[in-house]
Each structure stands twice: as C-alpha cells, then as structure tokens.
Structure 1
Amino acid sequence: MNNKMIIGNTEALCLPELGIARLHTRVDTGAKTSSLHVDNIVCLKEDGEKYVEFDLHPDIYHLEETVRCKSKLKASRKIKSSNGESEHRCVIETMLEIGGKQWPIDITLSNRQDMTYMMLLGRQGMSDKVIVDPNESFLLRSDS
C-alpha cells in the first residue's frame, strides 16, 4: 500500500500514445471501465489488423480543438451506462501516464458530450496503483 499514489476525484492525466497531455479526467471508483468522449469513429482494417480512428477533444474549455487519433481495436463490448442503458463500444488499449508513472489501460470510446469531463477513469484503469481521496482534486502536478 505504501507505493500507491493518492489521486483526487479529478486529475489531469496523459495518454502519450494518443498524443494527449493534461486531459482533465473524472476519477470514478463506481465505474468499472474507463471511457473517453470521442467523435467521428471510423473502423478500418490494415494488413489484416483492425483499427479505429476518432476525434478527441483534449481541452474541455476549447471544444473546437480536436485531435485525430488512431489505435488498434482491442474489442467491442456491450457496456451498461450509469443510466442503465446498454450500448456497444469500441475498446482500445493505450498507456496512461499520471504522477510520473505509466501503465496500460483499456478505454471504451463513447459519446460523453453531455458530461463535464472528456474522460472517466474507472476502477480497472486504476489497477492497484492508486488510492482515491474523494474530497480532493488535482493532487498530482504534471509538467506535461
């Protein structure tokens, strides 16, 4: 337990393989999976491998900014949202960087346009590496 970092209910994290730094993210211990708000999802096949391309909004204060990302498609899963509705979502695996540490996480791609944060970090993405202090936010400072 001593080597776990303490994070708040909101943190700025990086997704270096997608070229995203300081993405304000809601930390949600009630959610099993992590999800990312994206637009314009396109599935494609290259050299027998399945990929997904999508537009990501890295800054909640400047939604007109988008970054076109491409990642290998890991799976398609049926996910039940907090309102009880189920939908099929694309799943990618990418590196998460927070507090100077990195580890791979699965992220579902979804439309979170009505949500305040572009990403939700769920329990699986936290792995056994963090402890969440729900009363605090932005406990970790990043130079990225």
Structure 2
Amino acid sequence: MTASSSQVILPIIGWREWVSFPELGIPQVKAKIDTGARSSALHAFEIERFQQNGKSMLRFKIHPIQKDETTIVTVIAELLEVRQVRDSGGHTELRPVILTEVALSNYSWKVEVTLTDRSSMGFRMLLGRQAVRQRFVIDVGQSYIQNSAPEN
C-alpha cells in the first residue's frame, strides 16, 4: 500500500500531555486524552455567571496542578452555552461551556470546554475526541510525546 501525495500526516500525541490555555492565563495543566469522551472538560469550582457588555460571562477558579489545592487561577470567560453532559458513570449534568484556545506543544486551536468539578478525578483536564479529531494520532502506549513534564 502506498501513501498518496495528498495524504495528511498527523502529529502523534500520547494518552496524556501537558496543555495550556493562553486566553485563560493557565500556563500548564496535565490533560488526559480521552477518545471515549465526546467533549472536553476542565476542573472548575466557584463558577459564577454574570453579565458584561450584554454578554453572559463566567468567573471561575481552577487548581491547575494535580493534588495541589493551594495554587488557584481565577478565570473570566464568555459563556458559550449550557449543555447536558453524561459523565463516565452515566449521570447527566448541566455544564457551562466556553470556547477557548488550547495549546499543546507547537499546536494551538479553539476548543469547546465544559466546566465541572473534577477534584476527585485523576486529571484536571480531559481532552475529548472532538478536540483531537483530525488533528492528532494518539499513541495510547506513550505519555508526553509532544512535551515532557514541566520542572517544578
């Protein structure tokens, strides 16, 4: 089988990678790449909705570092919509959704992210299949292919 000259070769990422959210002021967060999840989810708490210049906005806080509840980033973002999402346990939850830029190594793109309490989960960020579809190939046997863990 030969590859055609029009075939696009996608970059490879591992099952977990470090991502950032430049528009939100979040320099790094460990993300699980989860093709079983349709949407992406970011750990958020103290989510408040308010109006600004005629737009629905959200103010929320996140703990960007796993197992660290002292580091807090306060974020303000425009509310895209409120969506019903089914979690891995089959429970449905109404979640606020934002549209923001996500960066992974040298790649950046806009992604819809739901906000929910992920404090009991293994990862603060879940990058779902809609976010990675037609952008990356996932090597489920590897971690941090695009970037190594940051030094603390």
TM-score (norm 2): 0.90
Larger mean CA deviation between 13-22 and 102-111 belongs to: 13-22
Could you say which structure has the larger radius of gyration? 2
Shift of 1:116: 1.2
Q: Name the aligned partner's letter for residue 28 of structure 2.
A: R
1:91 to 94, 97, 111: 97
Note the alpha carbon deviations across 1:88-129, whole angstroms, 9 max, x for none. Answer: 000000001112011100000001111011000001111311
2:17 is paired with a residue of what secondary structure? strand
Question: Offset of 1:24 from its aligned partner?
Answer: 0.5
Gaps of 5+ in 1: none
Q: Determine whether 1:66 maps to 2:72.
A: yes
Give the alignment's Cα RMSD to 1 decimal. Answer: 1.6
Q: Which aligned runs of 4 or more in structure 1 are off by greater than 3 angstroms?
A: none
Give unpaired runs (5+ residues) of structure 2: 1-6
Aligned residue pairs, count: 144
Aligned partner of 2:137 in structure 1 is 131
Task: Kindly provide the amino acid, as one letter, of the partner of residue 18 in structure 1.
Answer: L
State the 1:77 CA deviation: 0.3
Aligned counterpart in structure 2 of residue 27 of structure 1, from 27, 33, 36: 33
Partner SS for 1:102: strand
User: For the residues of structure 1 that align with 2:25 and 2:133, how far apart are their CA atoms?
Assistant: 22
Residue pair 1:99, 1:142 contacting (<8 A) in 2 also = no
- Checking the alignment, whether the CA contact within 8 Å between 2:18 and 2:149 is kept in structure 1 is no
Q: Percent identity?
A: 31
- Residues 84 and 143 of structure 1, relative CA distance in 2, 3 Å threshold: closer
- Cα separation, 2, equivalents of 1:100 and 1:135: 22
Identify the match of residue 52 of structure 1 among 23, 40, 58: 58
Shift of 1:4: 1.4
| Residue 43, structure 1, aligned to residue 45, structure 2 | no
Letter in 2 for 1:138: Y
